[in-house]
Structure 1
């Protein structure tokens, strides 16, 4: 700008053609000089330190940077997920993600699940130490990567921070500057041969703290960070009169694949791995993905993400009260720390945010008496104040899982009357209700949301404008209709033929489901508006055409899995339509939901039943059903979570005042 002003002044006072020519020549020279003048660009080295290994973030940042600008602007979470899955499938992921020959089965997140700033044994983020020795929560310093926009080849540059030389390196190389202050302005400068090359005053690493809370849609249920791997050995958990529609198998033993090399202990072993086993909390969660996207697209931001979503959680059982979730995690024993934690999610946040543990906040099992109003309190000052809370809650409060039990579980019509009675008893125990029952229960949400808003403000210092609440996606809308019911033939059991108890049996289920989700989202929007929350529900329509019953891959091919459950010969030597070890949990699919078949093959959650002597071969007829229902059936898969993440990201940008990538910075 100074050069331009100087040129205009010469033209005014020169007064002739010669002066005009001189001006043109001068502007051309000035423009060339301006283009060649270097400036300083920099970015926080690890902008998402939940990933303790900076190489993990840098690898993701490199893949993100290669996405088309339109994708980075409009659908970065989905585009990144698809790209990661494609590279994993092609064995082309960077080695920091693990062995390419196996990562295609485990999923890209498997390399990160045991190297995050969440610890299963202390049940929180508070004890995590970063490489510079600081705490993850409340860190005050971070490293940056700096370079010149116009590298000066063949020269050495001194890099200065606030006037003090911090490093020296070749001017055409990127340099790392360690331990710069977070949240405090600093000046960067570069000089060569004693002369100033570039200066960037008033630079700041902006700290952003995002909390994630809620139910199974928040936790990422159905998407373990490391998928279980099944082998070709078979086991019979039940007798079956129907097997994937093959009448020739009537009355024979139904055979199911065991885990690879039978890697289970008395409780079926670890199987799949999660960042939090008890809550089935996953790195594929849309809340985490949206927070990660902020870190990827905003180079001067450092995101502290604290996730607490837990499968099965409700407002009073999960967020503000104790909730056990899964019961297959170890409790503390003398001299050995377990992983069991049923404490309220708000308590877990206080445990992480407060400078020192508050009395009673490390109580992981429910006490005889507990009230959040009297037993939870806010510490005098947090290590860092949260900026945003991402929330998904309400579905369990009105009995959404019980609706699924009423609409998708039916006792088999087979000749074994005792087994049929047992299945009916099992379904009854799930407490099935109708869509109408759940809609009537929506009246309870108003009081629950208002109480929750009060708790967030009182205990976490979050006002209503800092809350982003998500609704729920359409599950059975195919784009041109709805998933068919069982009278249509095999289509009514698409994706759920591992056990005859699963089926869409009512002709009205599809239409009722669509109307129910629309009504629930409208209710949540109205309640949120009354409180002051920002409610995100627009993604629900994007799920149309990606329904639970839709087969095929995202690229239009059918792929090796389709929707059928693999069937074996009695010896496990021949499987159709594919062999279980070939199952890829995270290959891009047309459907954005986890079917019961997917859940069995991906997470394979099992239980040891009483009276079995700890032998998983003897654990009975319910195991395939448990392996499906306890593994996230009817939840968004990684692609569904990504679609939700993109919608949340748009709201996050607005709340944080961050520009869309490529947009002019004000």
Structure 2
């Protein structure tokens, strides 16, 4: 049984003459004199599913059991990381339990693959608003919930009546481990009491299920980019994408022979094969997001709360393209067709929040494609009332606004003229068609953030009713700091390609890249707090030192395939070194906390049929491996990196909401 809060009780038979305080003093004195004290029965209770984003209560209860087994120090200081590592370790050992389904599937794809299709987010209505919980309540604005209750020092062999607000709600043996009490009001005080043989054993007045509503918004670091809820399914079939054709306008190119693994059940006439799954395919939003993980951890450690999490983070988002304006992100999702709802939604994240929070009808909030003219400050209106007023907004924004992805394009792609067209293709994918910039250019652009943040704060308050004191923004982690230096560079050869040897275009070729990256991240994290009126969390950035993009090895010291070297095949695809692609475990704990291009290809494998190819991926030539890495989350925090960020956010959440860290070992 997971740890639950102890509430006020009274002893059986304490209703005779004389004050309760005097009686308690006498009883306590007699017990001390006899050398032993008799413990009084006490009611304990917890909300059964405190994180109803997971519609299946068994999923939450399984996570709660794992959380309860964590050491107290971990639950106090790093519960998000400790839980993530425990989940991944048990998935690897095939010991996660029946709530997670087939152990072999979880071993391959990670714990989130069992939960991703049973959440309160619908791809077809593009939101959380239509979700119904098991008890018939709406996910957003639920009024009732079930609780699990028990009584300590329960008398054996006796029947107990459980009363809610004086009415009998259930009858069971007094020493029942946990009893379910249904339809308990959320946000309204209630009284629990337990009777046996007509006498009150214990009472707990003025109890409340605290509703907590947390919004998550921002860029790819907020969405969880690079960490699909279920990884793509790779097989051992091979194809030499590099030599199959040339990009438009190229001729005479001769490259090295490189055979790449294809997805399982690929069919070049119809599809690439079995691809990765995300909670939201268009935004690459996943359960591994640090915002979601922090909200989940809060629910796990707050037994009397019900945490509603509404996530909107989207890869590539900026303040005016993404949060306050329309932003397409990935365009490889279906749009609405007659008689069939699609998944395409380019609407601003603030509009999506209004869609979920405002009572029906959704008029004005359910437009998924950009209109001819749109202005957030005139076209977005706050609804008259919210189903549930948001308590906290978690935010990650600013990196794309100053062009950090454009910096990556300039620092991590080879400059050789042999790859000029291919390099430009990758740059366009990352940076919306603009050219690469330097760290100095991005630093100079930081001055533009002040106005963007000011406008954003205005929108949060006017449209969502959120003041600056209710916003928590994350900074950015260190990517290339190895703890004793930075990731190596080299203009040619293997050095400088650790984790990115799937294609010759990827390389850290400048000696200044590592040191300038460290200086840039430190400077950005110190700059953001001077530009905003809300809390900024960035102390987690130091924890990333020693977990850089280029660092090899598994966290447990084993010799399992770590993916820092891309698998190479013989011409038939029957012999792969150093490992076979189907053996890749996307979420086994590794030393690095970032997604490398190799990782991105093996886990998410986002492909795209380029214009002029006639729908045949063969005709996309050597661009496909670059697409599969570039569009799949390279250079983003992996599941462990997201967990480290989540622990930083959780500490701020506790402070904002007045919730303490755990103070006692779990039973």
TM-score range relative to shorter protein = over 0.9
1:160 is displaced (CA, Å) by 0.3
Aligned partners of 2:554 and 2:562 also within 8 Å: no
Query: Where does 1:90-489 land on structure 2 (aligned, <5 Å)?
Result: 90-173=93-176, 174-239=178-243, 252-262=256-266, 266-268=270-272, 271-412=275-416, 417=418, 420-426=419-425, 429=428, 430=431, 431-487=435-491, 489=493
1:561 is aligned to 562
Name the SS for the 2:496 alignment partner.
helix
Q: Secondary structure at the match of 2:241?
A: strand
Alignment of 1:504-515 (within 5 A): 504-515=508-519
Distance in 2, Cα, partners of 1:203 & 1:4: 22
Residues of 1 paired with 2:341 and 2:369: CA distance? 14
For residue 611 of structure 1, report the CA deviation from its aligned partner: 3.2
User: 2:51 maps to which residue?
Assistant: 48
What is the alpha-carbon root mean square deviation over aligned residues? 2.0
**Superposition deviation, residue 105 in structure 1:** 1.1
Q: Partner of 2:265: helix, strand, or coil?
A: helix
Q: Supply the distance in 1 between the matched residues of 2:274 and 2:335 (Cα, whole angstroms).
A: 15
Give 5+ residue unaligned stretches, structure 2: 1-9, 11-18, 245-253
Partner Cα distance (2:444, 2:47) in 1: 49
Calculate the TM-score normalised by the size of structure 2. Answer: 0.92
The one-character-per-residue Cα deviations of 1:116-147 (angstroms, maximum 9, x if unpaired) are: 00000000000001111111001100000000
1:509-555: CA deviations, max 9, x gaps?
A: 00000000000001112113xx2x01100000100000000000112
The Cα of 1:360 is off from its aligned counterpart by: 2.6
Distance change >3 Å, CA 289–CA 428, structure 1 → 2: closer
The match for 1:27 among 28, 32, 36 is 32
CA distance in 2, matches of 1:190, 1:165: 9
Cα offset for 1:334? 0.8
| CA 126–513 in structure 1, closer or farther in 2 if over 3 Å, else same | same
Q: 1:77 to 1:3 in 2, by over 3 A?
A: same
1:617 to partner: Cα distance: 3.2
Inter-partner Cα distance in structure 1 for 2:144 and 2:317: 35
Taking a change above 3 Å as real, the CA distance of residues 562 and 626 of structure 1, as seen in their structure-2 partners, is closer
1:614 and 1:405, CA in 2 relative to 1: closer, same or farther beyond 3 A? same
Q: Deviations over 1:436-484 (max 9, x none)?
A: 1100110100000010000000000000000000000000000000001
Q: Would the alpha carbon gap of residues 609 and 121 (structure 1) be closer, same or farther in structure 2, given more than 3 Å must change?
A: same
Write the deviation string for residues 365-420 of structure 1: whole angstroms up to 9, x where unpaired.
0000000000000011100000000000000000010000000011447xxx5xx3
Find the counterpart in structure 2 of residue 71 from structure 1: 74
Determine helix, strand or coil for the equivalent of 1:176: strand
Q: What does 1:73-92 correspond to in 2, within 5 Å?
A: 73-92=76-95
Q: Does the 8 A contact of 1:565 with 1:597 survive in 2?
A: yes
Aligned residues of 1:267 and 1:608 also touching (Cα < 8 A): no
1:28: Cα distance to partner?
4.0
Consecutive unaligned residues of structure 1, counting only runs of 5 or more, are: 11-22, 241-249
Greater shift after overlay, 152-161 or 285-294? 152-161
Deviation at 1:251, TM superposition (A): 5.2
Q: Structure 2: how far apart are the matches of 1:526 and 1:91?
A: 47
**Partners of 2:236 and 2:26 in 1: CA distance:** 83
> How far apart are residue 155 of structure 1 and its match?
1.3
Distance in 1, Cα, partners of 2:620 & 2:203? 69
Compute the displacement of 1:579 (Å).
Answer: 0.4
Measure the CA separation in 1 of the matches of 2:265 and 2:243. Answer: 24
Q: Does residue 498 of the first structure (1) align with residue 514 of the second (2)?
A: no
Q: How many residues align?
A: 633
- State the partner residue of 1:659: 660
Normalized against structure 1, the TM-score is what? Answer: 0.92
How far apart are residue 359 of structure 1 and its match? 2.4
1:520-535 mapped onto 2 (5 Å cutoff): 520-528=524-532, 531=533, 533-535=534-536
User: Equivalent residue for 1:38?
Assistant: 41
* Distance in 1 of aligned mates of 2:574 and 2:600: 23
Are the structure 2 counterparts of residues 536 and 123 from structure 1 closer, same or farther at C-alpha, using a change threshold of 3 Å? same
Q: Quote the offset at 1:3 in angstroms.
A: 8.2
For 2:617 and 2:527, the matched residues in 1 are separated by 45
In 2: Cα distance, 1:110 partner to 1:264 partner: 26
